[in-house]
């Protein structure tokens, strides 16, 4: 009588650290968004401010669970998972995702005292990408990429029927497919937040905004679409990103917040939300449809990149042009849902361009068309890189 799980059964289990790192990824994103809204509403913070603690929780959980998994595989020589692990430094064994999570967690925790010193030396940040924030964002994205790769490696491994009994792998495989798109949506949230200053609704009528979108998003969305085995992975990833961005901005304004740092030009009494995210779900659905139709056709990847990159630009420009204009200028957007009334405490409420496009963010039609052409070229190249990256992710099993 068999009293222990067979190697195939053990390999078909989802390790606890996978759930932990996806949870950590969520803590990191929401901690970052809370920190941005804290700066918009309160201003003064410290090393152990509540948003920072939430990010630290994410880093510590990801680092501890992943580190424990690495040590477990290193010292348990009979563990069947060791045969599908990566050996590094000639000593340690672990999954590629776990290693990314450990390094990302260490980077995040290292950035904390650097950020505190920066604030004490230079005062309040005036932009997102300061040096300590850049280090922090690299650590965050490394943890989140580790969560993605950890889930993806298991998904790819479970699909190898020669390694794992298909009847045992069916249920965890479905769960992993969903977890991968959720983890991808969380990383997409960080990517958007890092570039949000170039893509706000105030810039929705300027081609520079669409050039930035065309560089940043096609490669990521198409990589996820090619790597995942779900029917609509890009759409689900975009939906996860939107919900991740919106939930804190819908909930935190229900709580009081008072500015603690001058000058206070706008005496607010509650948290101010972040921005409404881009409607990437619309081009995402179109990209899913195109991948369904052409990803397994004789069309090579350069032609597929040209098709998907062009589709991305042709969809995102009209969608975001009108929706961005609505968010920025319409009184119907100045409410709890669309977040159009958000205004930080150090912003002059009498500035005439709060709900009107500044002349700087408007450009003549020839200039906009020229910028659209640049965006199109960028999107095609970005899509090609994304398809190449997706091919690599489809092969990850460790």
List pLDDT tens digits, range 286-297.
Answer: 999 999 988 776
107-133 pLDDT, tens digit per residue, is 888 877 777 666 666 665 555 566 777
Q: What is the pLDDT of residue 138?
A: 84
Q: How many CB atoms lie within 10 A of CB 341?
A: 15
| Angle at the Cα of 100 from the Cα atoms of 95 and 106, rounded to 5 degrees | 130
What contacts 24+ positions apart, CB below 8 Å, involve 329-334? Answer: 329/355, 329/356, 329/357, 331/355
Is the pLDDT confidence value at 308 over 60? yes
For residue 114, give the nearest of 94, 140, 134 by alpha carbon: 134
Name which of 359, 310, 303 is nearest 210 in CA terms. Answer: 310
Q: What is the pLDDT of residue 1?
A: 36
Q: Residue 26, Cα to own-chain centre: how many angstroms?
A: 10
Who wins on pLDDT, 387 or 82? 387
Mean pLDDT of 137-144: 83
User: DSSP secondary structure string, 311-369?
Assistant: HHHHHHHHHHHHHHHHHHH-GGGSSTTT-TT---TTS-TT-TTTTS--GGG---HHHHH
Least confident of 26-30, 113-117, 371-375: 113-117
Would the pLDDT of 2 be above 50? no
Cβ-contact 190, 141 below 8 angstroms: yes
Nearest Cα to Cα of residue 254 among 105, 100, 37, 73: 37
Q: What is the pLDDT of residue 127?
A: 57
Amino acid 8: pLDDT: 47
Per the structure block, which two tokens stand in for 129? 């990408």
Distance, CA of 26 to CA of 20 (rounded, Å): 10
Furthest-apart CA atoms within the chain: distance in Å? 79
Q: How high is the pLDDT of residue 62?
A: 86
Contact 252, 37 (CB under 8 A): yes
Name the range with the highest mean pLDDT among 4-8, 17-21, 178-182, 323-327. 323-327
Whether 344 and 272 have beta carbons less than 8 Å apart is answered as: yes
- pLDDT for 6 beyond 50: no
Name the residue ranges covered by the structural domains of the chain: 10-175, 199-398
pTM, rounded to two decimals: 0.88
- Residue 92 CB contacts under 8 Å (≥ 6 apart), including other chains: 70, 71, 74
Mean pLDDT of 198-202: 91
Strands (DSSP E) contained in the chain are 86-88, 92-94
Angle between helices 50-75 and 16-41 (to 10 degrees): 160
Neighbouring CB atoms inside 10 A of 171's CB total 12
Lowest mean pLDDT among 142-146, 169-173, 335-339, 358-362: 169-173
Taking CA atoms, 44 is separated from 6, 49, 120, in Å, by 56, 9, 11
Mean pLDDT over residues 308-327, rounded? 96
CA–CA distance, 31 with 52 (Å, rounded to integer): 6
Averaged pLDDT for residues 261-266:
84
Tens-place pLDDT, residues 17-27: 788 888 988 99
Instruction: Inform me whether the pLDDT recorded for 144 exceeds 90.
Output: no
Burial class (CB in 10 A: 0-12, 13-18, 19+), 392: exposed
3-state class of 250 per DSSP? helix
Between CA 240 and CA 185 the distance in angstroms is 5
Greatest mean pLDDT among 75-84, 299-308, 370-379: 370-379
Closest to 308 (Cα-Cα) out of 216, 218, 205? 218
Over residues 32-46, the pLDDT tens digits come to 999 999 989 998 777
Contact between 241 and 188 (Cβ < 8 Å): yes
Closest CA to 15 of 142, 89, 91, 101: 101
pLDDT score for 81: 67
pLDDT by residue (tens digit) across 64-81?
Answer: 888 888 887 777 776 666
Tens of pLDDT, residue by residue over 324-353, are 999 999 999 999 999 998 999 989 999 999
For the chain, what is the mean pLDDT?
84
Q: Which residue has the higher pLDDT, 9 or 309?
A: 309
User: What is the pLDDT, as a whole number, of residue 170?
Assistant: 65
Q: pLDDT digits over 225-262, tens only?
A: 998 888 899 999 999 999 999 999 999 999 999 998 77
């Amino acid at each position: 009588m068999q009293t222990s799980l067979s190697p195939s059964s053990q390999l078909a289990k989802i390790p606890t650290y996978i759930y932990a790192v996806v949870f950590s990824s969520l803590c990191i994103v929401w901690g970052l968004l809370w920190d941005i809204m804290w700066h918009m509403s309160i201003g003064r913070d410290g090393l152990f401010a509540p948003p920072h603690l939430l990010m630290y929780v994410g880093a510590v959980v990801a680092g501890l669970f992943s580190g424990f998994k690495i040590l477990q595989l290193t010292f348990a020589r009979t563990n069947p998972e060791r045969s599908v692990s990566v050996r590094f430094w000639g000593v340690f064994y672990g999954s590629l995702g776990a290693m990314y999570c450990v390094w990302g967690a260490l980077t995040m925790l290292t950035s904390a005292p650097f950020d505190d010193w920066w604030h004490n030396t230079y005062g309040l940040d005036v932009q997102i990408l300061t040096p300590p924030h850049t280090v922090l964002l690299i650590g965050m994205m490394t943890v989140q990429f580790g969560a993605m790769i950890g889930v993806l490696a298991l998904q790819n491994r479970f699909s190898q029927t020669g390694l794992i009994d298909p009847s045992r792998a069916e249920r965890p495989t479905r769960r992993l497919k969903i977890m991968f798109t959720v983890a991808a949506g969380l990383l997409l949230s960080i990517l958007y937040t890092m570039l949000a200053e170039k893509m706000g609704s105030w810039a929705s009528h300027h081609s520079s905004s669409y050039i930035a979108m065309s560089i940043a998003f096609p490669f990521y969305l198409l990589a996820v679409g090619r790597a995942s085995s779900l029917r609509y992975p890009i759409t689900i990833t975009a939906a996860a990103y939107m919900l991740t961005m919106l939930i804190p901005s819908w909930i935190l304004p229900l709580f009081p917040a008072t500015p603690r740092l001058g000058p206070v030009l706008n005496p607010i009494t509650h948290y101010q939300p972040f921005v409404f995210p881009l409607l990437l779900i619309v081009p995402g659905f179109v990209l899913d449809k195109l991948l369904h139709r052409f990803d397994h056709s004789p069309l090579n990847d350069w032609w597929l990149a040209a098709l998907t990159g062009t589709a991305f630009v042709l969809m995102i420009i009209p969608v975001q042009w009108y929706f961005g204009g609505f968010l920025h200028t319409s009184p119907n957007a100045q409410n709890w849902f669309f977040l159009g009334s958000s205004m930080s405490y150090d912003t002059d409420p009498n500035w005439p361009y709060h709900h009107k496009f500044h002349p700087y963010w408007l450009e003549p039609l020839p200039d906009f068309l020229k910028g659209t052409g640049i965006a199109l070229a960028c999107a095609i190249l970005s899509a090609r890189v994304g398809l190449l990256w997706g091919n690599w992710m489809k092969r990850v099993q460790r």
